[in-house]
Amino acid sequence: MTKKTVKPRKKGLKGRDFLSVDDFSPAEIRSVLVLARDMKAHPRKYRAALEGAMMALIFEKPSLRTRTTFTVGIKQLGGDALLLTPADINLGKRESVYDVAKNLERMVDGIMIRTFGHDICTSLAAHAAIPVINGLTDLEHPCQAMADFMTIIECRKNLAKAKIAYVGDGNNVAHSLLLMAGKLGATLFVGTPEKYKPDQNVMDRAVALARENGGTIVWTSSPVEAVHNADVVYTDTWASMGQEAEAEQRREEFNSYQVNRGLFSHAHGDALFMHCLPAHRGWEVTDEIMDSKNSVVFQEAENRLHAQKAIMVGLLKG
């Protein structure tokens, strides 16, 4: 039987994992966001923050933003990255997750993993004595949510007064947005078809967090209700990686959730449009909205770099 690695639970972020938004307290999330914004404003100040550190980047899924931002990010902090693809390790098949964890903990300082099953991510973290960061699983996308709320704060300043609307599939991105809104006391309306609601356990946890922190979490099947008077309108692909065979069926079922001029008109005139990318133009969003003055999708994408740099510094340095 493989032995679980017990990571010390102590004050501060050093040595901990970031597998879920729920791994960080509201105060810790805010501190990471403050650090990320300072890193964005003063990058030279941090160019040796992780000097000599090595991150292993495990990719079981294709990536543009995650691969680029983690690779560039660790290098900008004075460290380096090692890319590992299925051809290199083939987690759980060529080599067990346990064995990969026990090897890497002796060779690198931290691990980022982008994979399918969330259990793979949690298992890797359970067995590795070094920090593990969730770069995306089927359950959550916590680094994306950190960048999203960094962007909202940059553009809106006051989360307590902003209504955020998410419309589309109740997927991993929706889950992390729900938990982040709950942690930070924000108002989030999630509009999805009944069949594609977010995971109920995540919803229940987000509602409980919102109650603790002065926020509001609402699910509705009406995209118009979700977007009504919103300050932020967020959407994502209707068919995530691994769901390509369902794409045409989902397109029909999600048709009324497309963020177009008609739906967006129910939000405030200066509402932000957000998307974690990649976007399927003409499906979940039209070009007219994607390329509008309201769109901050590329600012949001850039903020993945700064948010993840702050996360790495927190977990590796403290």
Task: Please confirm, yes or no, whether 243 is among the known catalytic residues.
Answer: no
Whether domain 144-300 has CATH 3.40.50.1370: the reply is: yes
Share of the chain above pLDDT 90, in %: 88
What count of other Cβ atoms lies within 10 Å of the Cβ of residue 177?
A: 28
Active-site residue, from 143, 205, 236, 250: 236
Active-site residue, from 141, 175, 275, 306: 141
Total-model pTM: 0.95
Task: Please confirm, yes or no, whether 114 is among the known catalytic residues.
Answer: yes
Q: Where are the beta strands (DSSP E) in the chain?
A: 54-59, 80-84, 110-114, 132-136, 163-167, 187-191, 216-220, 232-235, 272-275
> What are the extents of the domains in the chain?
21-141+304-316, 144-300
- Which residue reads 């959550």 in tokens? 140
Query: For residue 63, what pLDDT is reported?
Result: 94
pLDDT tier for residue 25 given thresholds of 50, 70 and 90: very high
Identical fold between 21-141+304-316 and 144-300: yes
Average pLDDT, the chain: 95
Amino acid at 89: I
Inform me whether the pLDDT recorded for 1 exceeds 50. no
* Sign of the dihedral defined by the CA atoms of residues 102, 104, 110, 116, in that order: negative
Task: Please confirm, yes or no, whether 236 is among the known catalytic residues.
Answer: yes
- Mean pLDDT confidence for 123-144: 98
Write the pLDDT tens digit of every residue in 103-117. Answer: 999 999 999 999 999
Q: Which CATH architecture has domain 21-141+304-316?
A: 3-Layer(aba) Sandwich (3.40)
Write the pLDDT tens digit of every residue in 151-192. Answer: 999 997 689 899 999 999 999 999 999 999 999 999 999 999
Task: Please confirm, yes or no, whether 175 is among the known catalytic residues.
Answer: no
Query: For residue 5, what pLDDT is reported?
Result: 57
